[in-house]
Amino acid sequence: MARPPHHDPLPESDLEVLETFDNGEGVRKARITVRRKLPGARLDKYLVSRFKKASRSIIQKLIKSGEVLVNGKPTKNSYEMEGGDVIEITFQPPEPYDVVPEDIPLDIVYEDDYIIAINKPINMIAHPANRTQGGTVANAVAFYSKELAQTDDPFRPGIVHRLDKNTTGLMVIAKTDEAHWRISRQFEDRTTEKVYHAVVHGAPEFDEDIIDVPIGQHPTVHDRYIATGFAERLGSKFEKRLHKNAVTRYKVLERFSGFSLIELYPKTGRTHQLRIHMSHIKHPIVGDPFYGGRNIGMQHITGRPSDSPDLIWKRQMLHACRLTFKHPIEQEPITLEAPYPQDFIDLLAALREYAARGKGRL
């Protein structure tokens, strides 16, 4: 797939302390001389503030790969700059897309010249991990749209944010590079408002509450994450893995016998955050065995042994239903909504019909 035009990450002003270079092959370089010590200022955050058109993830990737030198040497994201430091940064030209377009139907909820918003179905991941993997959102949008933003990953053209494979709901894809970096910066700065609905086991004690519990990677299980309290039980040597704060606000919308419908407002965007936080307060999401939830059928809802024991709801019942952000070009607030998928509708209908009468049990 041909490489689309890409934005220039270099700033347009402040050239007193910033020298820029172009080798004619698309490689862009910059040199900054730090005038004075900046106490507490991390290198990655400083560069993000200077290069407004580069996302934090891109800057961190450049530092990690050695494309950022301080006084001629590679360093870490956390380096605190001293007066007189010379920072050199190299922006390589973006790699061509490496995603095969596939004619996969998309549920488009909004589209203009700059962005596409879809209602992602179950059993579909956001983007491939390698060039042979298919059936992803990225494959589908590569077929649907001739123009997609270039990102720092050739397998993620246009992808701004991700949802888990079996989480349904709103995903935003950027058509232009400018739209991509502007929306990505909103996600990084936590100025977007994300709203999810979930069906959980049990009845939360409070109608509304805030869960403020750090999350980190599980020390032994691949692709699993854990909350601080669980890590403490594993031992202090695992605590170093848990340095990312995570905050979720929730509100109970409906209570049933054995289940609840809740609304979730993540203030941070950690991997599996909502699933982990609900598990942490002992109300895991239905259909999420990875974090303590259980697959259920009608027998669990009605409590009647005569009903079928077949499991019907076998994926985490979590749906990204609303997203508010500033339009990347027009800069006006925009709110997008995605209707429930059919399995979510069916589950709520069953709960309202049977468990709302106090007959359900689990």
Q: Could you tell me if 139 and 247 lie in one domain? A: no
Catalytic residue among 164, 288, 307, 310: 164
Q: Tell me the average pLDDT across 110-133.
A: 91
Mean pLDDT over the full length of the chain: 86
Mean pLDDT is lowest, of 51-55, 103-107, 223-227, for 51-55
pLDDT category at 21 given cuts 50, 70, 90 is low
Q: Could you tell me if 239 and 135 lie in one domain? A: no
Q: Could you tell me if 207 and 350 lie in one domain? A: yes
Q: In CATH, what number is assigned to the domain containing residue 352? A: 3.30.2350.10
CA pair distance 60, 188, nearest whole angstrom: 13
Q: Is 98 a catalytic residue?
A: no
Of the candidates 211, 198, 202, 201, the one whose C-alpha atom is nearest the C-alpha of residue 253 is 198
Is there a domain that residue 324 lies in?
Answer: yes
Name, in order, each residue with C-beta under 8 angstroms of 180's C-beta and a sequence gap of 6 or more: 149, 150, 151, 158, 160, 174, 328
Q: Could you tell me if 238 and 332 lie in one domain? A: yes
Is there a domain that residue 318 lies in?
Answer: yes
Q: Could you tell me if 226 and 338 lie in one domain? A: yes
Q: Tell me the average pLDDT across 44-72.
A: 85
**Domain containing 57: what range?**
18-91
Q: Taking 70 as the threshold, does the pLDDT of residue 95 lie above it?
A: no
Q: Could you tell me if 128 and 77 lie in one domain? A: no
Out of 141, 167, 185, a domain closes at 185
Q: Could you tell me if 176 and 261 lie in one domain? A: no
Strand partners, 255: 260
Out of 185, 214, 230, a domain closes at 185
Of the candidates 45, 52, 154, the one whose C-alpha atom is nearest the C-alpha of residue 93 is 154
Is there a domain that residue 233 lies in?
Answer: yes
Out of 28, 63, 91, a domain closes at 91
Of the candidates 343, 344, 204, the one whose C-alpha atom is nearest the C-alpha of residue 277 is 204
Q: Could you tell me if 260 and 327 lie in one domain? A: yes
Is there a domain that residue 248 lies in?
Answer: yes
Indicate the pTM of the whole model: 0.77
Q: Residue holding tokens 């259980």?
A: 294
Is there a domain that residue 272 lies in?
Answer: yes
The count of structural domains within the chain is 3
| 291-326 confidence digits (pLDDT tens) | 999 999 999 999 999 998 899 999 999 999 999 999
Q: Taking 50 as the threshold, does the pLDDT of residue 268 lie above it?
A: yes
pLDDT at 207: 97
Is there a domain that residue 102 lies in?
Answer: no
Mean pLDDT is lowest, of 74-78, 89-93, 281-285, for 89-93
Is there a domain that residue 4 lies in?
Answer: no
Q: Could you tell me if 175 and 199 lie in one domain? A: no
Q: Could you tell me if 291 and 170 lie in one domain? A: no
